[in-house]
Copies of this chain bind each other. A is one copy, B any other.
Amino acid sequence: MKNPTAAMLVIGDEILSGRTRDANMHHLAGELTKIGITLTEVRVVADEADDIVRAVNELRARVTYVFTSGGIGPTHDDITADCIAAAFGVGIDVRADARAVLAMNYENGEADLNPARLRMARIPDGATLIENSVSRAPGFSIENVHVMAGVPSVFTAMVAWLLPQLQHGAAVVSDSYRVDLPESVIAGPLGEIADAFRELSVGSYPFFEDGKHGANLVVRGTDASLVAQAMDRIKSAFSGRIA
């Protein structure tokens, strides 16, 4: 049986302007790998409604799960929840369950919910809430789309709450071996090994350090003994060889 698949949609101008370097993508990728969900695509789009709606609709048709990060806060540039509602063609409004969760965050409860805060209780019709153990304001899931915050500590907490509830696949085992040879020397033998182990993913990740070429050879798959066999073949092909 094939593992479930996933796509991630990162929403916001921060990464596209070069202002910050992504952290959520790297975190989610690692967590999904651990539980056997295959991340097949990541997209980063700006705070533009048309771009967000199109990306959500393209991705949710293609994979088992879509995860989004960013754009669910209270400021004018937080338009993700409205875009998700538009993508699904459903209504959106302040909802009692989200409002109650949010109110727990403030000294005077509901009385402290000003219009900006109430924006964070706007949930598309038919969605269920995702718990935020850090700062209360919830994310939400609608069909196969899971909408989470962009602040890394909150994103991480939401992912930790959500993933155990999803369908897991066979855990992916991986092993890697560093070879200090140029890829042009590695390529022939490695291609033969990849051909011999078609159930596995055999990758070569080149680097260039101090004027010398090398590569990390990575074998990944759900059958641990097959991964070990392929790695043995790689080691016997390349160990002791120097450029």
Chain A residues proximal to chain B, CB less than 8 Å:
12-22, 25-33, 39-48, 51, 73-77, 114-117, 119-120, 134-135, 150-151, 153-154, 172, 174, 183-188, 190-191, 194-195, 201-208, 213, 215, 218, 220
List chain B residues, Cβ under 8 A from A43.
41-44
- Let me know if A119 and B187 touch, CB within 8 A: yes
Identical chains bound together, number: 2
- Let me know if B183 and A77 touch, CB within 8 A: no
- Let me know if B26 and A18 touch, CB within 8 A: yes
Given A17-B39, A19-B205, list of 15 further CB < 8 A pairs? A12-B203, A12-B205, A15-B29, A22-B26, A40-B48, A73-B187, A73-B204, A73-B206, A75-B190, A75-B215, A77-B202, A115-B188, A116-B184, A116-B185, A117-B184
**B17, B33, B206: the one within 8 Å of A33 (CB):** B17
Please, how many angstroms separate the alpha-carbon atoms of A120 and B45 in the complex?
A: 32
